[in-house]
Amino acid sequence: MIRFSLVCDADHDFDGWFASSEEFEKQRKRGLIACTTCNSTKVSKSLMAPQISTGRQKDAMAVASVDANRRELMAKMKELRETITSQSENVGTRFPEEVRKIHYGESEQRSIYGEAKRDEVESLLDEGVAIAPLPVVPDDAN
Ligand SMILES: [Zn+2]
């Protein structure tokens, strides 16, 4: 059901519920819609946007769907993070040093992860070292 804000030829505003816009037009042409104030059948839709009767329900569903998407994304990020961390060596704060050694062939080629400060990350990127931030998942806050 759609609620239309209607207006008659005497400018009386009233609401009507209709199955669809087509249904409204059909009833209007047959003179079945009358102004609630003056009974005029010369009515038209006012310029206000129609409201869907299930508006509240629809909003609730939209929220749920956003949450589901986020959960899915979080799950993917967590999975990615777990894949990286389970297959890489944690070098902690030695990361910038270790990743440089690997990059310049001073250390064996392997996957590592750890911590780096923003300026260290920037200089590593400047040097062309292939690094990427690990996805942060909310569970890490614990
Ligand atoms: Zn009227």
Q: What is the pLDDT of residue 63?
A: 44
Least confident of 1-5, 123-127, 137-141: 137-141
- Over range 4-22, report the average pLDDT: 90
7 CA → ligand 1 middle, Å: 7
Q: What is the pLDDT of residue 39?
A: 94
Query: Which of 71, 80, 68 is closest to 135 using CA atoms?
Result: 80
Contacts of 139 (CB under 8 A, 6+ apart): 78
**Banded model confidence at residue 46, pLDDT cuts 50, 70, 90:** confident
- Over range 40-64, report the average pLDDT: 61
Proportion of the chain above pLDDT 90, given as a percent? 33
DSSP per position, the chain: -EEEEEEETT--EEEEEES-HHHHHHHHHTT----TTT----EEE-SSPPEETTHHHHHHHHHHHHHHHHHHHHHHHHHHHHHHHHHSEEEETTHHHHHHHHHTTSS----EEE---HHHHHHHHHTT----PPPP-GGGG-
22 CA → ligand 1 middle, Å: 22
141 CA → ligand 1 middle, Å: 62
Is residue 50 over pLDDT 60?
Answer: no
The segment with the largest mean pLDDT, out of 74-78, 95-99, 130-134, is 95-99
Q: What is the pLDDT of residue 47?
A: 67
45 CA → ligand 1 middle, Å: 13
Query: What's the pLDDT tens digit per position in 90-102?
Result: 999 999 999 999 9
5 CA → ligand 1 middle, Å: 13
Q: What is the pLDDT of residue 80?
A: 85
Q: Give the pairing of strands 2-8 and 51-52.
A: antiparallel
102 CA → ligand 1 middle, Å: 82
CA atoms of 123 and 136, how far apart (whole Å): 22
Token readout for 137 is: 């998942």
Q: What is the pLDDT of residue 118?
A: 86
CA atoms of 34 and 12, how far apart (whole Å): 11
- Over range 97-119, report the average pLDDT: 90
Token readout for 103 is: 């990059």
Query: Which of 31, 30, 29, 6 is closest to 17 using CA atoms?
Result: 6
